[in-house]
Structure 1
Amino acid sequence: MVLKSLSTRQMSWLKGGLFMLGLAPFVRLVAAIFTDQLGANPVEFITRNTGDWTLYLLCLTLAITPLRKLTGWNWLIKLRRMTGLFAFFYVALHFTTFLWFDHAFDVAAMFKDVVKRPFITVGFAAFVLLIPLAVTSTNAMVKRLGGKRWQWLHRLIYIIVPLGVLHFWWMKAAKNNLFQPLLFAVLVGVLLGMRLLWRRKST
């Protein structure tokens, strides 16, 4: 019963803890760079690490509403914005790594690669779709857009996460390593299926 409602102080501590946890992978990555622990292929390590954490956080963002409904912990919804912004932070690092190390900030060459390779195409599409969600994450933007339009815009997450999983799947398929992508696909399928089931029951 205690978990169903938290005081302002408890919520503040919880958000602080979530912030530290969200920042931890980045701190660890920076430490690995400065201690030369990125392995034989540093670019691949950074790309994989930032991409993995993007997917972890996107799935966590998608899981917050189902978890709230199943547990009655309504305070969970207050953690969704920070989780989503950390997902955008890591996907921005992921994209920057791709643009910087793979293309030396040559935007024209980057776009040629995006068009040429389907797994990059879907990954880039997911990144672009995440930008308006991050930009409109503030309370001021919610007021400016209006609640309904804001909600419709943020339903893009239901497209973005599957695109992210597909990007990961195609990348791993080239290496015949589909175990982890399959786990992500099942998890996302369950989370989206739960939403669809609840929506049907409410109509």
Structure 2
Amino acid sequence: MAKVPIEVVLVGEKGLADLPAAIALANSEQNEFLFSSASDDLARRLQMRTFEHNKISEFFDQMERIRTEVRGYYPFLIAAIDSELEGSRFGNLFGSHRAEKGIAVLTTSLVPDVIIPTDRMVAYFIYYFARYALSFISPNHRNHDDSRGCVFDRKIDKQDIVKSMRARALCDECRRNLVSGDGMLSASQFSALENLFALAGPNSQ
């Protein structure tokens, strides 16, 4: 089976220096997903439309529009930004996705040395690479509000992310639904994602 191509768009500077290292490590530890840096053209176009405070819906509309403007094949995109994200229900988000469209965003705003130590940012990026790769393959799976140490925790309490950055980072209910649901997740892809989540754990790197 061909690798799933996922391009990471670098938009900003603060807290993003370890992004290339995270991409390299994520690729070295599994063979099902190919992470790569998106073109400078795509990054520059998105940078023009990125603000200090971004509403998720507007940001994703811009991502979809820019993807259609830039020539090439971009089935899955993750934007890595350094400004704040605001959703329809919650503010100061770590990230979000429009998985059915193949797009996602993560931010470093108020993350380094606030939630995640600066020397653990590679783990943070790999965690979200795996989290969004999982959603791209199984777009109908949703977050739960309660905290279970699971990647699908809604993380209303920002510290909950630390609990879910670990090996076997899926709660039993999510694991059961992903294995038996209508997603297209293969056994080899599931194993690859488990490897990536383990890399984000406290004893990795």
Give the structure-1-normalised TM-score. Answer: 0.29
* Rg larger in structure: 1
Give the structure-2-normalised TM-score. Answer: 0.29
Larger relative helix fraction: 1
